[in-house]
């Protein structure tokens, strides 16, 4: 035994002297002390690593393992890298060994220091990878894949422009299935952190710390769902285009990036198109949906987890002119790739209580079962969908009743306001949805005046008010209102009212207005005539009364006295003016004519008819001559006024 100890000591001295001899005069830097280990307790492959900074190229390494009980060493030569993996079958793992490395750089040989130890006792875990992080209130949970419990050293600091110093904590991990997990307590979940971690075995006799993991960022917790803005679908030929927009998340939660998941769900999955989730980093996304009701869910995700979902409900597309479906709809065959949906509606909102989906692959037995489960007098909203170019498209939409009946209730809150003499306003509320029992086609409004037949009108099913006109003042009316479906007329709501009597005051006002209008018309006519006379004065014409030279014998002779008015003339030079000459002639002719007229009158009573005719012709000849002469004088006269048709008064402008 003592001999063996001396040999062992001698062997160590020889190796040390050999290494010193090799390093002496060498120009290269010796490698670091080699470190040999396995990566977990069940591993059978050992890894040896060392550090070396070569001064040149083409460096090779020789790795030596020396069992202290044997002078012979077993080298691994011509290693190109500073790392070597060796199976335990060719190593001595249960006894203590000496390990060193020789580096060959050109003509230089450098030898590392010797490391001694038992290989089996040395374990160095792999660097934790694919670390999952999550927040539990103000505690940070870290987990990674490993089935070996370990001791972990965690180093962290807040991720801010002015970074703080690193804080370290050493914690034991807990095993959950094949995962190691640890929790760092008393952090701030609304702040972001920079973290790194390393682990070591708690079972090995000589555990080594693993390498530090790369620094990774821990964003703040996504406490709140994304704030989705209001969306309005756009109808596109059976398809609705919905642009979903949301606001960015908090900056601390967005560290490392945020991904948003947009998912469309409806009551009947895979009808008509297969639903997919859409991932995006933008703050908006466009989806296409059918006319049936859908839910659009938006979830934000970061490295620490995901937010609560933000769900927006897109109701079924409403249409005011929806009609009743064909009763044999379920018995008909439909094309391949077509999907039918039935929504059971219990209220006015188009939110289904139950939903059924039928495809072309369903058999008649399944269709019959769905029809059996449907209830009488219950409205179902029917959709027919197809998948066109990957987008859902609705090709038909209507209301379906297994059996339709009349409404079971009358219109609600039927009221009449009559504050006029000849009209009245009616208002009401719709019949409760559950009491319709069919599609309301219209309302029937009937009015009855005392001792007269009733008059009825049909009002639109969407109306909730009506105006009655052309009523008789001071008359009582009875009014009835009922809802009508294809099955008939429902219960009636009744009301009575009396129009206001006609007021006498209003009659006097009417007469007063009429009389005032009459006076106004007369005044306007008079004023217009005066204006016309001033603007367009009348042209004076001579008035020559017609008379017969002979009066009937049985009547008294009408005698007319001749009145002579004064004639005022301006002085005119008789030598130069032709008017004076003409006036003298006219005066002589006028006297001769008067004398002839008196003679004719005296002889009229006793003369014959031939004589009367000759006198009349002579008189007309004289008149014609007089008128021609008067026309020549008119240009010199300023005004001609006749009085009693015989004598005139002439005034002319002064010279």
pLDDT digits (tens, 9 = 90+) for 405-455: 899 999 999 998 877 878 889 999 988 878 888 888 899 999 988 778 888
> Which of 71-80, 103-112, 200-209 is the least confident region?
71-80
How many percent of the chain have pLDDT more than 90?
A: 33
Give residue 654's pLDDT band: very low, low, confident or very high (50, 70, 90): very low
The confidence score (pLDDT) of residue 532 equals: 75
CA-CA distance, 282 to 254, in Å (whole number)?
Answer: 12
Looking at residue 4, what DSSP letter applies? H
Looking at residue 159, what DSSP letter applies? -
Q: Which residue has the higher pLDDT, 454 or 274?
A: 454
- What are the φ/ψ torsions at residue 526 (nearest 5 degrees)? -65, -45
CA-CA distance, 263 to 257, in Å (whole number)?
Answer: 20
Closest CA to 421 of 464, 463, 477: 477
CA-CA distance, 524 to 521, in Å (whole number)?
Answer: 5
Q: Give the mean pLDDT of 485-513.
A: 80
Looking at residue 350, what DSSP letter applies? -
Closest CA to 397 of 293, 254, 551: 293
Closest CA to 246 of 265, 234, 260: 260
Distance of CA 494 to the CA centre of its chain: 42
Give the 3-state secondary structure percentages of the chain, helix then strand then coil, rounded to 5: 20, 40, 40
Distance of CA 238 to the CA centre of its chain: 17
Burial environment of residue 435 by CB neighbours within 10 A (0 to 12, 13 to 18, 19 or more): middle
Residue 363 has pLDDT above 90, yes or no: no
Q: What is the pTM of this model?
A: 0.59
Spatial neighbors of 259 by CB under 8 A, at least 6 apart, are 279, 280, 281, 300, 301, 302
The confidence score (pLDDT) of residue 227 equals: 94
pLDDT tens digits, one per residue of 322-347: 777 876 666 667 677 788 888 887 76
Q: Which residue has the higher pLDDT, 17 or 653?
A: 653
Number of CB atoms found within 10 A of residue 161's CB: 4
The confidence score (pLDDT) of residue 638 equals: 43
The confidence score (pLDDT) of residue 479 equals: 92
Q: Give the mean pLDDT of 545-555.
A: 51
279 SS3 class: strand
Burial environment of residue 197 by CB neighbours within 10 A (0 to 12, 13 to 18, 19 or more): buried
Axis-axis angle for helices 609-633, 578-604 (nearest 10): 160
> Which of 44-53, 150-159, 272-281 is the least confident region?
272-281
């Amino acid at each position: 035994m003592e001999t063996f100890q001396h040999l062992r000591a001698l062997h160590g001295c020889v190796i040390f002297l050999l290494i010193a001899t090799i390093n002496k005069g060498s120009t290269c830097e010796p490698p670091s002390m080699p470190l040999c280990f396995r990566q977990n307790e069940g591993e059978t492959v050992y890894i040896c690593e060392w550090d070396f900074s070569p001064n040149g190229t083409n460096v090779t390494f020789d790795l030596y393992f020396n069992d202290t009980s044997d002078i012979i060493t077993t080298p691994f030569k011509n290693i190109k890298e500073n790392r070597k993996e060796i199976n335990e079958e060719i190593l001595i793992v249960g006894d203590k060994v000496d390990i060193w490395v020789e580096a060959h750089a050109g003509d230089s040989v450098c030898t590392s220091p010797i490391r001694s130890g038992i290989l089996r006792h040395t374990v160095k875990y792999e660097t934790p990878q694919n670390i999952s992080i999550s927040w539990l209130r103000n505690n940070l949970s870290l987990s990674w894949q490993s089935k070996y419990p370990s001791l972990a050293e965690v180093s962290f600091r807040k991720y801010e422009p002015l970074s703080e110093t690193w804080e370290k904590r050493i914690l034991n991990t807990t095993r959950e299935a094949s995962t190691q997990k640890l929790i760092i307590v008393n952090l701030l979940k609304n702040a972001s952190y920079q973290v790194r971690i390393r682990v070591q075995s708690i079972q090995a006799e000589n555990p080594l710390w693993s390498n530090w993991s790369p620094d990774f960022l821990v964003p703040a917790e996504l406490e709140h769902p994304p704030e989705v803005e209001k969306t309005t679908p756009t109808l596109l030929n059976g398809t609705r285009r919905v642009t979903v927009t949301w606001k960015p998340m908090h900056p601390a939660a967005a560290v490392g990036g945020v991904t948003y998941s947009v998912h469309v769900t409806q009551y009947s999955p895979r009808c008509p198109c297969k639903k997919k989730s859409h991932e995006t980093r933008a703050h908006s996304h466009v989806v296409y949906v059918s006319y049936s009701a859908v839910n659009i869910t938006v979830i934000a995700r970061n490295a620490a987890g995901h937010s609560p979902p933000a769900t927006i409900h897109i109701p079924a597309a409403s249409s005011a002119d929806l009609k009743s479906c064909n009763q044999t709809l379920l018995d008909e065959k439909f094309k391949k790739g077509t999907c039918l949906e039935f929504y059971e509606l219990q209220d006015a909102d188009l939110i289904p209580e139950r939903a059924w989906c039928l495809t072309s692959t369903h058999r008649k037995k399944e269709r019959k079962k769905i029809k059996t489960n449907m209830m009488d007098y219950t409205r179902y909203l029917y959709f027919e969908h197809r998948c066109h170019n990957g987008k859902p498209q609705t090709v038909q939409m209507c209301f379906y009743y297994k059996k339709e009946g009349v409404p079971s209730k009358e219109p609600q809150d039927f009221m009449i306001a009559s504050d006029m003499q000849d009209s009245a306003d009616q208002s009401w509320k719709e019949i409760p949805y559950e009491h319709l029992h069919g599609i309301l086609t219209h309302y029937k409004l009937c009015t009855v005046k005392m001792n007269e037949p009733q008059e009825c009108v049909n009002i639109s099913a969407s109306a909730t008010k009506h105006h009655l006109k052309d009523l008789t003042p001071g008359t009582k009316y009875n009014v009835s209102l009922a809802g009508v479906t294809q099955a008939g007329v429902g219960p009636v709501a009744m009301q009575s009212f009396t129009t206001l009597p006609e007021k006498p005051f209003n009659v006097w006002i009417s007469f007063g207005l009429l009389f005032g209008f009459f006076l106004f018309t007369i005044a306007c006519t008079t004023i217009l005539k005066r204006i016309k006379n001033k603007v367009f004065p009348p042209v004076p014409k001579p008035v020559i009364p017609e008379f017969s030279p002979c009066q009937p014998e049985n009547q008294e002779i009408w005698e007319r006295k001749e009145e002579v008015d004064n004639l005022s003339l301006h002085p005119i030079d008789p030598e130069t003016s032709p008017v004076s000459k003409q006036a003298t002639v006219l005066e002589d002719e006028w006297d001769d004519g008067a004398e002839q007229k008196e003679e004719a009158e005296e002889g009229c009573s006793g003369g014959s008819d031939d004589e009367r005719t000759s006198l009349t012709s002579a008189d007309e000849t004289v008149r014609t001559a007089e008128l021609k002469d008067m026309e020549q004088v008119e240009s010199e006269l300023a005004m001609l006024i006749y009085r009693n048709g015989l004598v005139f008064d002439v005034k002319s402008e002064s010279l």
